[in-house]
Amino acid sequence: MINGNPNPPSRAPVSFITGYWSVTGNPKRTPDFYRSKFPETVELIGHKETIALWENSLIRDLFNAPPTKFNQIAGRDLYVLRSELIPDEILAAISTNVKRSAKRLFTARIKHTGREKHYTHLRKHLQKSNPAVYLDLVSTWMAKIYAINFAIDFLNLKTDYLVGWADTGISRIWNSQLSAPLSDYTFHGYPPDKISHLPGRMFYRGRRLGLSCGLMVASPSMWSWALEAFEEQALKSLGERYLHDEETILEEVRRQHPHNFHALTEFERSA
CA 81 to CA 18: how far, in whole Å? 13
CB < 8 Å & 24+ apart, contacts of 106-115: 114/203, 115/201, 115/202, 115/203
Report DSSP letters for 177-195, one per residue. T-SS-GGGEEE----TTSE
- The per-residue pLDDT for 270 is 44
Give the CATH number, domain containing residue 261: 3.90.550
pLDDT tens, residue by residue, 111-138: 556 788 888 888 777 777 778 888 988 9
Looking at the 3D structure of the chain, how many domains does it have?
1
Is 3 part of any domain? no
pLDDT tens, residue by residue, 186-223: 555 578 789 988 888 889 998 999 999 988 989 999 99
Is 2 part of any domain? no
Nearest to 54 by CA among 168, 176, 221: 168
Is 34 part of any domain? yes
Is 21 part of any domain? yes
Is 4 part of any domain? no
Q: State which residues form the domain around 178.
A: 9-269
Is 122 part of any domain? yes
CA 200 to CA 223: how far, in whole Å? 19
pLDDT confidence tier of residue 8, bands split at 50, 70 and 90: very low
